[in-house]
Amino acid sequence: MQSQKQFKRRFSFEFFPPKTPQGKEKLQVVRDELARRKPDFFSVTYGAGGSTQERTIDTVLTFQDQGIATAPHLSCVGSTKETITELLDLYKENGVTRIVALRGDLPSGMGGSAGELKYANELVAFIREHSGEHFNLEVAAYPEFHPQAASAEADLLNFKKKVDAGANSAITQYFFNVDAYFYFIDRIEALGINIPVVPGIMPITNFSNLVRFSDMCGAEIPRWIKKQLEAYADDTDSILKFGEEVVTRMCETLLKEGVPGLHFYTMNQSAPTLAVWDNLGLSDKEKITF
């Protein structure tokens, strides 16, 4: 973990692009609540497929226009170099300076080809080739390994390819096993990787959604958390309270060990993230004594 302590801490909040006008209005409120905590940036996810992509662009440009630093996620799967080039230029013209560069996933049943750039390392290299050093590039990291990885070793080496291609920093898939993160950092340090790897934090708000997401992305829910959440059944208040405690404690451990910040998967809700944020006393970031 030694290498991570040298980096300045940064804090960020992730949204997905809203589907409806009501969702858009709600997101403005959520964003304003979170903006009061002065995060370093917001990010907006990007899906494969036309209409969701338009919504990401719209959300990012609206936020930028309102003076809110926003990092679009940009995936290459199913896309062409031409489309990516246009998007990079549009973002640059609108003052975007940070991009979360991903391979992405094609929705099952959507078919279609993988696109001209097959992996995130190729996207990172392409962005560097086209836009030089303009963008600060974030990539994804998987402390519990990516579900499609041929092996743990191969996944680490593939992560290194993204760093070698020019990634500035990484955000992890969410996890509840802090040791997986610490071990991941030790392994990448041994490979000579020296970039900030910011833990992605998923507040716990709903058991069935959490199980579904975790199955898809390969994040393990420890048995003791699963059993306790199961026992609460439909008791939402208890789930929220327990989730808040578990996630706060995990973040405390991470911060004490010197992580270079936290990235919250807000799921477009402010309350669960703010509960953890306030428990950690992060509002006064300059005074963090962890």
Q: Which residues in the 91-130 window bind ligand FAD by CB under 6 A?
A: 100, 102-105, 119-121
- In this structure, what token pair is assigned to residue 42? 């917001």
Q: What single DSSP character describes residue 1?
A: -
C-alpha distances (whole Å) from 21 to each of 27, 137, 266 are 10, 30, 19
Of 81-89, 146-154, 227-235, 279-287, the segment contacting ligand FAD by CB under 6 A is: 146-154
Near ligand FAD by CB under 6 A: residue from 41, 144, 146, 275:
146
Interface with ligand FAD, residue 46, by CB under 6 A: yes
Of 125-133, 153-161, 229-237, 275-283, the segment contacting ligand FAD by CB under 6 A is: 153-161
The answer to whether the beta carbons of residues 79 and 126 sit under 8 Å apart is no
Sign of CA dihedral 116, 120, 125, 126: positive
Smallest distance from the beta carbon of 104 to ligand FAD, in angstroms? 4
Smallest distance from the beta carbon of 167 to ligand FAD, in angstroms? 10
Going by DSSP bridges, is the β-strand pair 136-141/98-102 parallel, antiparallel, or unpaired? parallel
- In this structure, what token pair is assigned to residue 61? 């440009």
Near ligand FAD by CB under 6 A: residue from 158, 177, 238, 279:
158
- In this structure, what token pair is assigned to residue 114? 């993988």
Collapsed DSSP state (helix, strand, coil) of residue 79 = strand
Near ligand FAD by CB under 6 A: residue from 173, 214, 270, 273:
173
Residue partners of 61: CB distance under 8 A and separation at least 6: 90, 94
The single residue of 14, 122, 138, 244 carrying the catalytic annotation is: 14
Smallest distance from the beta carbon of 41 to ligand FAD, in angstroms? 13
> What's the full length of the chain, in residues?
290
| Residue 224, number of CB atoms within 10 A of its CB | 10
Q: Which residues in the 219-278 window bind ligand FAD by CB under 6 A?
A: none
Q: What single DSSP character describes residue 100?
A: E
Interface with ligand FAD, residue 55, by CB under 6 A: no
Smallest distance from the beta carbon of 260 to ligand FAD, in angstroms? 14
The mark string for 207-226 relative to ligand FAD (x by CB under 6 A, - otherwise) is: --------------------
* Euclidean distance between CA atoms 249 and 280, whole angstroms: 9
Judged by CB, which is closer to ligand FAD: 14, or 240? 14
Q: Tell me if residue 14 is catalytic.
A: yes
**CA torsion angle for 285, 6, 129, 47 (degrees, to 10)?**
-50
Smallest distance from the beta carbon of 289 to ligand FAD, in angstroms? 27
Q: Which residues in the 63-92 window bind ligand FAD by CB under 6 A?
A: 73, 75
* Euclidean distance between CA atoms 123 and 183, whole angstroms: 27
Which residues are marked as active site? 14
User: Which residues of this chain interact with ligand FAD, rule CB under 6 A?
Assistant: 45-47, 73, 75, 100, 102-105, 119-121, 140, 146, 148-149, 154-155, 158, 161-162, 171, 173, 200
